[in-house]
């Protein structure tokens, strides 16, 4: 199997193209300033993953800004910190402030020359539109949790995407799903028969960060950045 075998790259956005861990960490600082003692970054991100996963399972139709606000409330309760309602809403509205990984725009611009690019994301349309401006590329299709009414790793999200791509004449074998989260993306991608590329953004860090562990997940390709993936494609073409 080669990178050049595919027609379409479908992407997770947050954690893969957008540096959501840095965004989460920056947005949660007002809460952490009230926590005694203040927990480490690793502890906070692991707690975020736990609460976000549970909230997505409990309220699959909740818009992502509201869901993030509820995750912030959960974090506050866990840390014994009482925050005003405005602080919860501010955290929920923080997605547009989350930065892109530095290599994402250029890598996407290169890959756009060779593939159709599609987003399958666990956020709302407005938040994704703000992040898309940071990425600077026109995606050929964008499917969000707001469109679907559930959150990955629910297989309904992947089936929704596959059904819509099928309407455009794109078959599963022509798709390479590209994502950081093994739990949210690679496990369900395999369940619906998609090949996948792991963007291992945390390769120099311990633990699972803001994603739920899935140590047994399978994938066909592994890259440590989007730039590495773009370089690998260049090498495949040259060969």
Give the confidence band of 239 by pLDDT, cuts at 50, 70, 90.
confident
The residues spanned by each domain of the chain are: 3-20+100-238, 21-97
pLDDT > 90: what percent of the chain? 96
- The per-residue pLDDT for range 42-63, each reduced to its tens digit, is 999 999 999 999 999 999 999 9
Q: Is the pLDDT of residue 124 over 90?
A: yes
The CATH homologous superfamily for domain 3-20+100-238 is HAD superfamily/HAD-like (3.40.50.1000)
CA–CA separation, 181 vs 2, rounded Å?
22
- Maximum pairwise Cα distance, the chain: 59
What value does the mean pLDDT take over residues 198-211? Answer: 94
* Catalytic residue (choose from 5, 12, 58, 124): 12
Q: What mean pLDDT is reported for the chain?
A: 97
Residue 198, C-beta contacts closer than 8 angstroms, at least 6 positions apart: 179, 180, 182, 186, 217, 219, 221, 222, 223
Is residue 19 part of the annotated active site? The answer reads: no
Which string of DSSP letters, residue by residue, matches 58-87? H-TTS-HHHHHHHHHHHHHHHHT----HHH
Q: In what order do the strands lie in the sheet with 8-11?
A: 141-144, 116-121, 8-11, 175-179, 195-199, 221-223
* Composition of the chain by helix, strand, coil, percent to 5: 50, 15, 35
CA–CA separation, 139 vs 115, rounded Å?
10
Residue 239, C-beta contacts closer than 8 angstroms, at least 6 positions apart: none
What value does the mean pLDDT take over residues 111-115? Answer: 98
CATH code at 21-97: 1.10.150.750
What value does the mean pLDDT take over residues 147-159? Answer: 97
Length of the chain: 239
Residue 126, C-beta contacts closer than 8 angstroms, at least 6 positions apart: none
């Amino acid at each position: 199997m080669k990178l050049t075998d595919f027609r379409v790259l479908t992407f997770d956005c947050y954690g893969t193209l957008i540096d959501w861990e840095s965004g989460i960490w920056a947005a949660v600082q007002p809460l952490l300033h009230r926590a005694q003692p203040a927990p480490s970054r690793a502890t906070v991100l692991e707690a975020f993953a736990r609460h976000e996963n549970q909230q997505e399972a409990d309220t699959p139709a909740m818009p992502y800004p509201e869901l993030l606000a509820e995750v912030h409330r959960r974090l506050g309760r866990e840390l014994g910190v009482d925050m005003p309602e405005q602080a919860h809403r501010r955290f929920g509205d923080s997605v547009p402030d989350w930065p892109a990984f530095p290599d994402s725009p250029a890598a996407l611009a290169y890959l756009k020359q060779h593939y159709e690019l599609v987003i399958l994301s666990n956020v709302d349309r407005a938040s994704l539109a703000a992040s898309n401006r940071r990425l600077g590329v026109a995606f050929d299709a964008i499917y969000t949790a707001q469109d679907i009414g559930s959150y990955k790793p629910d297989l309904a999200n992947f089936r929704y995407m596959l059904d819509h791509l099928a309407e455009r004449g794109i078959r599963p074998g022509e798709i390479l799903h590209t994502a950081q989260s093994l739990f949210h993306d690679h496990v369900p991608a395999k369940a619906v028969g998609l090949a996948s590329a792991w963007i291992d953004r945390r390769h120099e860090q311990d633990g699972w960060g803001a994603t739920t562990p899935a140590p047994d997940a399978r994938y066909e390709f592994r890259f440590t950045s989007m730039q590495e993936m773009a370089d690998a494609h260049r090498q495949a073409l040259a060969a």
